[in-house]
Amino acid sequence: NAGVTQTPKFQVLKTGQSMTLQCAQDMNHNSMYWYRQDPGMGLRLIYYSASEGTTDKGEVPNGYNVSRLNKREFSLRLESAAPSQTSVYFCASSEGGLQGANVLTFGAGSRLTVL
Amino acid sequence: AQRVTQPEKLLSVFKGAPVELKCNYSYSGSPELFWYVQYSRQRLQLLLRHISRESIKGFTADLNKGETSFHLKKPFAQEEDSAMYYCALSGPLTYKYIFGTGTRLKVLA
């Protein structure tokens, strides 16, 4: 039972390069999330997708785009990476549904360094 | 605006001492409150949620709507409790899920 799988685990980019972080869940969850984790800042919500076909901005969406490819997959794209985007990125999912967000299941994280 | 505040970045206690990790929130309405924990080299995982009203690993948390707080407590800390603890909030019928800045708990032998 894989749960939430993120790739890659580590990535080093140069300023201005682009890349996509992939996330997939096998729990038939409706909602998916991308967070970044920075020292002293905790977890900050970048984008979320309440259900397949919808995406919404979180607290820190600038510099990122997302795609909810299908119910299983939710990708995060950096079009032109900046050093300020150096962080650990976490994907999460939840059942969602009419009652709201519910409990989150997290991936292992992706450590991104932008030089 | 939705906001979760964890005032302590680091909390150090001795083994066997009581622990209280503070969490205050701002939300117009009735939120759902959660505590998540991240042990070293492990994934973030749910510790407990206020609607369950249960004790997990000896931890409890009571939602105080008057003080808008959801403090996490344990009467006797254990070394294995050392971890990063995050308080989180989500509104009913919404999907925006906000975390606090986290508190690192160190339990000293």
Summarize the confidence of residues A97-102 as an average pLDDT.
64
Summarize the confidence of residues A46-65 as an average pLDDT.
93
Distance CA B3, CA B99 (A): 8
Q: Is the dihedral of CA A67, A104, B8, B24 positive or negative?
A: positive
pLDDT of residue A97: 66
Q: Is A85 exposed, middle or buried (0-12, 13-18, 19+ CB in 10 A)?
A: buried
In this model, does residue A99 exceed pLDDT 70? Answer: no
pLDDT of residue B93: 66
pLDDT digits (tens, 9 = 90+) for A4-25: 999 999 999 999 999 999 999 9
Which residues in chain B touch residue A41, judged by CB atoms under 8 angstroms apart?
101
Chain A residues touching chain B at CB-CB below 8 Å = 31, 33, 35, 40-45, 48, 50, 56, 58-59, 90, 92, 94, 96, 98-104, 106-109
DSSP code per residue over B43-86? --EEEEETTT---BTTBEE--BTTTTB--EEESS--GGG-EEEE
Contact between A43 and B86 using a beta-carbon 8 Å cutoff: yes
In this model, does residue A109 exceed pLDDT 90? Answer: yes
Which residues in chain A touch residue B32, judged by CB atoms under 8 angstroms apart?
100-101
pLDDT of residue B95: 76
Q: How far is CA B85 from CA A26, A35, B8, B17, B103, in A?
A: 26, 16, 11, 18, 5
The model's confidence at residue B52, banded by pLDDT at 50, 70 and 90, is confident
A114 phi and psi angles, rounded to 5 deg:
-115, 120
pLDDT digits (tens, 9 = 90+) for B16-28: 999 999 999 998 8
B80 phi and psi angles, rounded to 5 deg:
-70, -5
Distance CA A16, CA A114 (A): 9
In this model, does residue A40 exceed pLDDT 90? Answer: no
Q: Within 10 A of A19 (CB to CB), how many other CB atoms are there? A: 16
CA nearest B49 in A: which residue? A103
A and B: number of Cβ contacts within 8 A: 67
Alpha helices (runs of H) in chain A, residue ranges in sequence order = none
User: Which pair of structure tokens corresponds to residue B40?
Assistant: 């070293």
Which residues in chain B touch residue A43, judged by CB atoms under 8 angstroms apart?
44, 86, 88, 99, 102
Q: Which residue from B57, B17, B18, B54 is spatially nearest to B39, judged by alpha carbons? A: B57
